[in-house]
Amino acid sequence: MNTTHAAPLDRPHFKHWPKRLPHSIPLPETSLWHNLEGSAQRYPSKDAIVFLGTHMTYAQLADKALRMAAYLHQLGVQAGDRVVLAMQNCPQLIVTHFAILRLGAVVVPVNPMNKAEELKHYIIDPDTRVAVTTADLAAELAAASNALEPALRLAHLITTQFSDECDLGVTGSDAPPDAWLPWLLAPHAAPALAARAGTAGSLVHTWAHIMHASKVDAAKLAAALPVHRARPLDLAILPYTSGTTGLPKGCEHTHRSIMHNAISSGLWGNASAAIVGLVVVPMFHITGMVSVLHSSILQGATLVVMPRWDRDFAGRLISKHRVTHWTNIPTMVMDLLASPHFADYDLTSLVNIGGGGAAMPAAVAQRLLDAYGLVYVEGYGLTETAAPSHSNPPDRAKQQCLGIPFMSTDARVWNPDTKQECAVGEQGEIIMHGPEIFSGYWKRPDATADAFIEFAGKRFFRSGDIGRMDEDGYFFMTDRLKRMINASGFKVWPAEVEALMFKHEAIAEACVVASRDAYRGETVKAFVVLRQSHKGRVSESDIVAWCKNNMATYKAPRIIELMDALPKNGAGKTMWRTLQEAEMAKQ
């Protein structure tokens, strides 16, 4: 494996490189499955997962993953097949994620906030036959599948209740907030799944049945599974990202690209088997999946898992379980610090805290430093870069800064017009080259070709983000080439939201822009022109409610402004930038 530096040694950031770390790392010839297998062999009795008061050891995690893999194999899942995994954070997500990898199949992580209309794409585009989800979300997936042509539908749907792997009657610090109980206790009334063409019939399977049906001894279990043959350059994960036009695109990540950032993230954060990590960033998202899940499993760390954010529950878990590492979105830290119960929590166990998706306000970062000696480490990355392509050195972090290029990574600021590298301090597009960069967009050779350039003798990925580099080699974001909204760290792509809004019978035209929000940073606003037949009959609040019911909460427009017409240019295209600039100017 090539261990040469990805960036020339005269790059300015190497002057400030952590002395304890290599500039680049050799990568193993093993697969992501081997990381769990190895940790289970080294630390069989150590807690891998703590979830709502229940503890799962590494031996138990590996055993359940093998049993799920055997069942998926019985359903016909083979190496290279894509399997949808749509869940909030829970042990079942981790078990299934590694079960899919054990078969050499491909994980398709899907945001569980998506609604049926959005979910259709994640069934059709990767040609998914099997999906795994929780009971509270199963109806949406079934509805999405049933609305498709028979040849495109799911063949199998696996559902689980949260209580399958925890005791929801737990009391004390591990007890979930009361507000969570309705969806944690969602009944296991499995929805009907319409038949897929060419199959004997579509089936719905429950977690409890699978775990019971696969209770055979280790020898029989091993015999029921195919030999694991996944190699570093085989496709492993297919997360989806949207863009300026069209439907979300699958980003092809190999075992090698994920492995690089799993190893590097651990080294960067001084990780070891002794760490206890709070897992509240979603594991369907690239940051939670790579920098938290895969990095922690590789190390043999303990994951204290939260299915969704609640500031006081987080405070209790950090205090009780002596959490040492916490990757988050800055708004989570701000929310916890604002809790009226904050004085009751003990955060002294924390030794590493950081995240990305949005800039951490300087005043909040200073409060963490003054009260706990904690430096908030900001980083930057995209779905295409397997999370971090940049990160601040923990011992020399700059506030509201993307950081320096990550291990094995060459990053530049490039002028798309002159095709030359920008001078220090000059704005341009951030481009990256490294082993963590995705292979390409699934079934989209045109988009793949547009996403890469040849520069300095290497293939660089175009981030679409405008930034600058200072004299120390630290990168700062200043603008975007891509049309995108950042709502509490979640990326919202206006073209995708507009495409969904056009399904509303009253909407003739829609233009989605960012609107400033004191808490979320940005929120989603839509300018809407109603069809003549619906004017006076459909209100702004009606459209807000419809959007909330038909798309993920974070991307649904919270503000609607009705207009008689949208501004157009000479070619008849909507002048979204005019609306965007006017929206920002008035706030």
Q: State the virtual CA torsion across 504, 508, 509, 514 in degrees, nearest 10.
A: -30
Ranges of CATH 2.30.38.10 domains, the chain: 375-480
CB 103 within 8 A of CB 235: no
Alpha-carbon span 212 to 210, nearest angstrom: 5
CATH ID of 32-355, from 3.40.50.12780, 3.40.50.2300, 3.60.10.10, 3.40.50.720: 3.40.50.12780
Q: Looking at the structure, give the CATH architecture of the domain made up of residues 375-480.
A: Roll (2.30)
Q: What share of the chain is helix, strand, coil (3-state, %, to 5)?
A: 35, 25, 40
Query: DSSP string spanning 196-256?
Result: PTTSS--EEEEHHHHHHHT---HHHHHHHSPPP---TTSEEE--EE--SSSS-EEB-EEHH
Residue 46, pLDDT score: 98
Greatest distance between any 2 Cα atoms in the chain: 71
Q: pLDDT tens digits for the chain (587 residues)? A: 444 457 888 899 999 899 999 999 999 999 999 999 999 999 999 999 999 999 999 999 999 999 999 999 999 999 999 999 999 999 999 999 999 999 999 999 999 999 999 999 999 999 999 999 999 999 999 999 999 999 999 999 999 999 999 989 999 999 999 999 999 998 877 788 988 887 766 689 999 999 987 666 767 777 889 999 999 999 999 999 976 667 899 999 999 999 999 999 999 999 999 999 999 999 999 999 999 999 999 999 999 999 999 999 999 999 999 999 999 988 889 889 989 999 999 999 999 999 987 778 888 888 889 888 899 999 999 999 999 999 999 889 998 899 999 999 999 999 999 999 999 999 999 999 999 999 999 999 999 999 999 999 999 999 988 899 999 999 998 876 677 888 877 888 888 898 889 889 999 889 999 998 877 788 999 999 998 889 999 999 999 999 999 999 999 999 999 999 888 776 566 888 889 888 888 76
- The crossing angle, in degrees rounded to 10, of helices 138-146 and 116-124 is 60
Topology adopted by domain 485-585 = GMP Synthetase; Chain A, domain 3 (3.30.300)
CB 524 within 8 A of CB 559: yes
* Beta-strand relationship, 490-492 and 203-206: unpaired
Ranges of CATH 3.40.50.12780 domains, the chain: 32-355
Residue 188, pLDDT score: 74
Residue 3, pLDDT score: 46
Residue 1, pLDDT score: 42
Ranges of CATH 3.30.300.30 domains, the chain: 485-585
Q: Kindly tell me the number of DSSP H helices and DSSP E strands found in the chain.
A: 18, 29
CB 54 within 8 A of CB 166: yes
